[in-house]
Structure 1
Amino acid sequence: MQTDQTIPTHYPRPQFERKDWINLNGKWDFNFDDANIGEREQWYKKHDFDSEIMVPFTYETKASGIGEETFHPYIWYRRSLEIPEEGTGKRALLHFNASDYVTKVWVDGQFVGSHQGGYTKFAFDVTDYLNHSGHHELVVKVEDSNSCYQPRGKQRWISENFGCWYVQTTGIWQTVWLEFVNEHHLESVKMTPDIDTSSVLFEYQFADSATYSNLRVQTDIQFDGKPVKSFSQTVDRSSMETKMNIASGIGEWKVKLWHPNHPNLYDVTFTLYDGESVVDQVESYFGMRKVSIENGQVLLNNSPIYQKLILDQGYWPDSMLTPPSDEAMIEDIEKTMEMGFNGVRKHQKIEDPRFLYWCDKKGLLVWSEAAATYEFSQEAVDNFTKEWIDIVQQNYNHPSIITWVPFNESWGVKNIFTDEKQQRFTEGIYYLTKSLDSMRPVIVNDGWEHTVSDILALHDYEEFGEVFAERYADKEKIIHNERTHNHHKFAMASGYHYQGQPIIISEYGGIAFQGEEGWGYGNQVATEEAFLQRYQSITQAIKDCAYVSGYCYTQITDVQQEINGLLTEDRKPKISLGKIREINS
C-alpha cells in the first residue's frame, strides 16, 4: 500500500482535552465482506485480512491506499495495540470521532459494543476486555447501506454520482483514539454563556460512582494567560451545575466577548479531586457570545449582524469527507475570510471537531446542518432523531456555531408542504432542539416550505441581479405565499404563516466556468470579468433588499462533478479573492 497522505495526529477533541491518550490512526488490516460472512466465521477472533487501509480515510478515497469507489456494505478493520505505562491501572476509553454507519467493536475476540450513526462521535470503555498485558487485538466491523432512511447527506445511494450527490463514505472517516482516565472522572461539561449577566452556567456530568463523598471539582478560568475566576465545590451526585459571574476577574468591568472581529476565548481547567489527590484534569475553553432575534434581524451580542456566508461541503479530492490535516482546514477558513465572508453554512455534514475549534479560534460563524435522509418513514424518523440529539449535545459548546439546520429543501420530508405527519416531525425536531439548546436559532427546512422556524432561509439561483431585485421587491407576496420566491416553491408550508422572522438568502449563485467538466447553476461564464459581473449583480441585489439580513453563496470549492466553487477541488482560486472580497464588503 502506498499513500502520500498525511495522517491526522492532533488531539482530536480540543474542547475537552486530557494529556493521556494515544492516536490509533495509521495502517490497519482491512477486508471487504460483501457476503456478510465475517461474524458467522468469527473474523473477530482469527482471520487473514487480505489488504491494508490507512485510517481514518475510507476505502473509497485515494488517501486510504485503496481508492475503490464501488459500494461494499460490510467491511472489517484490525490492528494491534499496546497499553502504554501511563494507562496502567486506568480506565481505557476507545473513541471514534465518526464512522459510517453501524460500527461493531471487538477486543481480543470479545464483543465490546456497537454504535449507529455516521456523523457523531462515540466511545466504549474497553478496560474490562483488556485482561492481559502486552499486545491486544482490536477488530472493527462497519455496516453501511444505500438506504434513504439513514442520514446520508450528500452520499449517493446508486452506483454512479448524479446531480449534487457524490461518492459514498463507508466506515471509519475520522480519528480513532484511546484515552486513559481514573474511575472517577468528568464525562462532560456543558457551558452556557450569558453576556447579559456576565456569567457562565457550567453543567458537569461525572462518571457513575458508588460514592461521591470525597470528590470535589475545581474550575479555573483564565483569559490571555491571566486568572479570571476560580471556584470549587463538592461533588455529591453524577450531575450538577453552577452559574458563575466572570466580570471583574481581570481588573476590568466587562467581559471579553466572542465576535468574528475579536474571537475572544476564555480558557478553563476542570480539576477533579478525590480528597487531596487529583484524579482527573481537563482543559477546555468557551466564548462569551449571545445569538438572538429581534425585529426581523439576527443579533450577535445584542447588535445586528449581517451574515455573509459561503456554502461549504467539506470535501477534499484525495480524502473526500475526511479533512486531510489541520493545515487543510485552516486554509479553507482563512480563504473564506480572505474573500470577505464571515461564516460558513456547513452543508449536509457534521464537521470534524478540529474544524470547529479553528472556527472558534479565528472567528468564523457556522451554521451546523444535519445530513439528510431522503425518504419519510418511522425508521427515518427514529434514525434522524437519535443522531440529531447527539449532534446538538456534542457540539453545543462551540461559540462559532450560531444556527442549527436540521432540514434542507424538504429532503426526507418531500411532502411537507401538505403532509401533516411530515410537518409535525419537523415541529418536533424544532422543539426538541430548543429543549437541548435555547440559545441558538433553529431553521426548519432551509430553502422553502418552512413550518416553525426562527429564520426564513430562501434558496434562489436567479442569474440576473435586476430580475432578482424585481422578484423580491414585494416582500408581502413572498412571505404570504402569494407567489413563489424561486419559480417552483413557496416560502411557507401550507397552514403556516410568517411570524416576522429574519429573512436570509441561504443559497444563491453557483456560477461555473465554461470548459470545465461538470455543472453549475444557470449559464456558465467564459471569463473572470463575466463571472465578477454576474457575482456583483446578484450579490448587490440581495444587499440592496432592505428586509434581507444576509446571504450564503454556493460554494467555496468544486466538489466532484459540481464545479461551481470559487476554488477548485485542490483549493486553487478561479478568480481573484480580493475582487470577491471587494464585492462582499
Structure 2
Amino acid sequence: MNEPFPATPAATPLHPRPQLTRERWDDLSGVWGFAHDDEDRRLDGRWFEREDVFDQQITVPFPPESRASGLRATGYHPVVWYRRTVRVAPEGRTGHVLLHFGAVDYRARVWVNGRLVAQHEGGHTPFTADITPALVPGETQVVVVRAEDDPADLAQPRGKQDWEETPHAIWYHRTTGIWQPVWLEYVPRTFIQTLRWTPDVERGRLGLVLRLNRDAGQGLRVRVRLSIRGQRLADDTYALEGQEVRREIELDPGRFRAERQDLLWSPRRPNLIDARISLLDEDDNVMDEVGSYAGLRSVGVRDGRFQLNGSAYYLRLVLAQNYWPESHLAAPSEEALRREVELIKALGFNGVRIHQKVEDPRFLYWCDRLGVLVWGEMANSFVFTPEAQRRLTREWLEVLERDASHPCIVTWVPINESWGVPNLEGDPAQRAFVRGLYHLTKSLDPTRPVIGNDGWELVEGDILGVHDYALDGATLRERYGSEEALEHTLRAVQPSSRNFYLAGHHRQGEPVMLTEFGGLSHAPSESERWWGYGTLPDSDTLLSRYEELLTAVLDSPVIAGFCYTQLTDTEQETNGLLREDRTPKLDPERVRAVTSRVSRAVQHDVLVEIHALADERRRAQMLAQTQGEVMAED
C-alpha cells in the first residue's frame, strides 16, 4: 500500500488564532535574515541594531534544524537571531499594531527598530507585543528576534527534542527558534484582547469571559451574536464594567429543547456555534469586532466510564507526535494540519493524544471542525529542580489559557510517564508537585478530566492511564479480561515495571484506559535507524497483529478506551500506521474496520441499562439501537 490518501483541496488561509480572528492581518512568514551566535555574544554586539551580521537566510516559521527552513543546521546552536523588514499598513497609523508570535523555542527577545518590545520564555506558547510606540515614520520597520535554546538544559520543557546531537532512542532533532506563525494585526486603542468559552449543556447556556486590553471607562458595551448554520441562537448586548465581561448566554430555549442533538458537539456531529463580537461605544459605533466559535458539549468521568454529553463514550485514540520529516515540530503547511486530522478519522479513531507537544491552534481548529477528540499534553522537562518546576508550571498555565475554549480538548495531561519527576515513588516533593499540577489545572478548568501523571505511578487523576506494550493479544486478555484480572495486573503484574498506585492511593472508580499500547513496526532495512516495541516482517503480519491487539482490548469489559502507538513513523521510530510521508503501510479500510469495531465495554453498559428498564417497548428500542446509533456513537 504505497499510494497516498486523496489530497485535500487548498482552502482560504486560516487565521493563526482561529478562536479570535480579525479580518485584517499580515502574515510575516517567508524569508528572514538569519545568524547563528554560537559564541553567545549576548547583547554586547547590539545585533538588534545591525544588518551586517545576518549572513544567512531562513524560511520562517520552519526551525533551522529542518530542511524546510533552507538551512538543515542540526548541530548545537544555542543562540540564533532573525531579522526582516516589514511594511505597516495605513491603518496602523491611526490605531495600534500588534506583533504576534505563535511559538518561539525557547527564550525570545524581540526588537522593533532597535527598541525592545517583548521578552518571553516558553517554547510552545504564544506572546504578543504592541509595537506601536516603536514604529518610526514611514511604512518600513525592522524586526529582530533573538532566540535562546540550550540543548543541554534538561530543566527546560522540551518534550521529545533530543539533547544529544544525533537523535537516539525515542528522541528527535531539536526545534530551535520560530516554529509557528508570525503576524501583524491592526487594532484600535481599546480592543478585545481575550475570549474564553465555557459550555453548560445541562442548562443550554454558553459561558463567556471577555477581556479588553485596558479599562476604557464608562459607556462601552459588548454585543454578542451567536448562530449555527446561519440560524440565530442569541443576540445580546452587555455593559462593560472595567476591562471584563462575564456572562452566561442563554441559547434560544425553544430551539435547544427541540434540536438538542443538532446543537451539541461530538465527533459524529461536530456542531460549532459561530460568534461575532462587537465592542460598541456609547453611540453604538463599532470600535472593534472579532470572530470566534465554540462547541456545546460536556465531558467527565462517572461509574468507571468516560462521559461525553452525559453518556458513556468509548475513546479510540491514536498517539501522534505531529512531527514532519521536512519541518520537524512545525507543520509543512496549513493543509498538512488539516490532513493529519483527516488521516486520524480515516483510520477509524475518534481522538488523538498529541504526545509531548503543544500543537498549533490551527490543528485544534480542524479537530473542532471535523470532529476529533484531543488529549492536551504538556512537553515535559527531564529533571526535577526548582527551575524546572517554575518553567513547566508557568508554561502550562499559558497552555490552559490559550486552549481552554476548544471543544475538541477533553482531557489535560501535564506529565507523562514521570518525566521530570524521576523519583516520584521515593520523593514526597515530586509527588506534591504532580498533585499540585493536578489541582491547579482543576481549579482553572473544572470542566475536564485531568491526569496528573499518565502511564504509571498514579498520584492524582480522574482517569487511570496504563501503558502496556504487550506484544500479543493473549497477554492483554489475561491482564484486562475481567475486573479481577485488571486489579491483579495493576497491583502485581505492573506491565511497565512501575507501581501504578503511589502514596496509598486506591482506585476510586476512575476509568481505566490503555493510554499507550501497540508500537508495532516493520522490520527495517540494514541501512535504516530503528526504534520500536515490536518488529514484524511484513505488512500482512503487521495488520494481523494490529487486529489481534485491538480485538483483545475491545473485548475487555473493563477498559474504557485506548490510545494506540502511533499514527506515523517519526525519525528513527518506525512504529507508525503511516510512514513519515503519511502514506499508509496497511489497507486503510481494513485498519478502520478493526479500529471502529464495537467494544464489549459499551455493549455491557447498554445491556445493563436495558435490564434496568421496566418498559418492554423501550427495551426493544434499545436492543435495536445496540447495533445502530448507540454503537456508532461508541
TM-score normalised by L of structure 2:
0.89
Post-superposition CA distance 1:333-386 (Å, at most 9, x none) = 112111111000000011111100000000000001100110001000000000
**Structure 1 441/169 Cα, relative in aligned 2: closer, same or farther at 3 Å?**
same
Q: Is the 8 A contact 1:228 1:249 kept in 2?
A: no
1:558 is paired with a residue of what secondary structure?
A: coil
Q: Is the 8 A contact 2:201 2:309 kept in 1?
A: yes
Matched-pair identity in %: 40
**1:505, CA displacement in angstroms?**
0.1
Aligned to 1:361: 369
Which one has a larger percent helix, Structure 1 or Structure 2?
A: 2
Note the 1:382-393 alignment, pairs <5 A.
Answer: 382-393=390-401
Aligned to 1:227: 232
Instruction: Tell whether 2:352 aligns with 1:344.
Output: yes
Instruction: Tell whether 2:209 aligns with 1:203.
Output: yes
Q: Distance in 2 between matches of 1:492 and 1:51?
A: 53
Alignment counterpart, residue 124 of structure 1, candidates 126, 129, 135: 129
Aligned to 1:563: 574
1:360 is paired with a residue of what secondary structure?
A: helix
Instruction: Tell whether 2:288 aligns with 1:284.
Output: no
**1:234, CA displacement in angstroms?**
1.2
Aligned to 2:246: 241
CA RMSD of aligned residues (A): 1.7
Instruction: Tell whether 2:222 aligns with 1:217.
Output: yes
Paired residue type of 2:305: Q
Q: Distance in 2 between matches of 1:523 and 1:98?
A: 35
Post-superposition CA distance 1:142-185 (Å, at most 9, x none) = 01112110100000012121110000000000000011111111
Q: Distance in 2 between matches of 1:87 and 1:248?
A: 43
Note the 1:77-476 alignment, pairs <5 A.
Answer: 77-146=82-151, 147-209=153-215, 211-248=216-253, 250=255, 253-255=258-260, 256-275=263-282, 276-473=284-481, 475-476=483-484
Alignment counterpart, residue 500 of structure 1, candidates 509, 513, 517: 509
2:253 is paired with a residue of what secondary structure?
A: coil
**Structure 1 379/118 Cα, relative in aligned 2: closer, same or farther at 3 Å?**
same
Q: Is the 8 A contact 1:203 1:242 kept in 2?
A: yes
Aligned to 1:491: 500
Post-superposition CA distance 1:200-243 (Å, at most 9, x none) = 1111111113x321210000001101211100011121122111
1:263 is paired with a residue of what secondary structure?
A: coil
Q: Distance in 1 between matches of 2:334 and 2:439?
A: 35
Aligned to 2:588: 577
Q: Is the 8 A contact 1:20 1:87 kept in 2?
A: no
2:68 is paired with a residue of what secondary structure?
A: helix
Paired residue type of 1:57: F
Aligned to 1:31: 35
Post-superposition CA distance 1:301-329 (Å, at most 9, x none) = 00111111100110111111111112212
Long gaps (5+) in structure 2: 1-9, 597-634
Q: Distance in 1 between matches of 2:551 and 2:193?
A: 48
Aligned to 1:18: 22
After TM superposition, the runs of 4+ consecutive aligned structure 1 residues lying more than 6 A away are none
Q: Is the 8 A contact 2:204 2:256 kept in 1?
A: no
TM-score normalised by L of structure 1:
0.96
2:129 is paired with a residue of what secondary structure?
A: strand
1:330 is paired with a residue of what secondary structure?
A: helix
**1:9, CA displacement in angstroms?**
5.2
Q: More displaced, 24-33 or 468-477?
A: 468-477
Long gaps (5+) in structure 1: 1-5
Q: More displaced, 128-137 or 195-204?
A: 128-137
**1:85, CA displacement in angstroms?**
1.3
Q: Is the 8 A contact 1:461 1:509 kept in 2?
A: yes
Paired residue type of 1:528: S
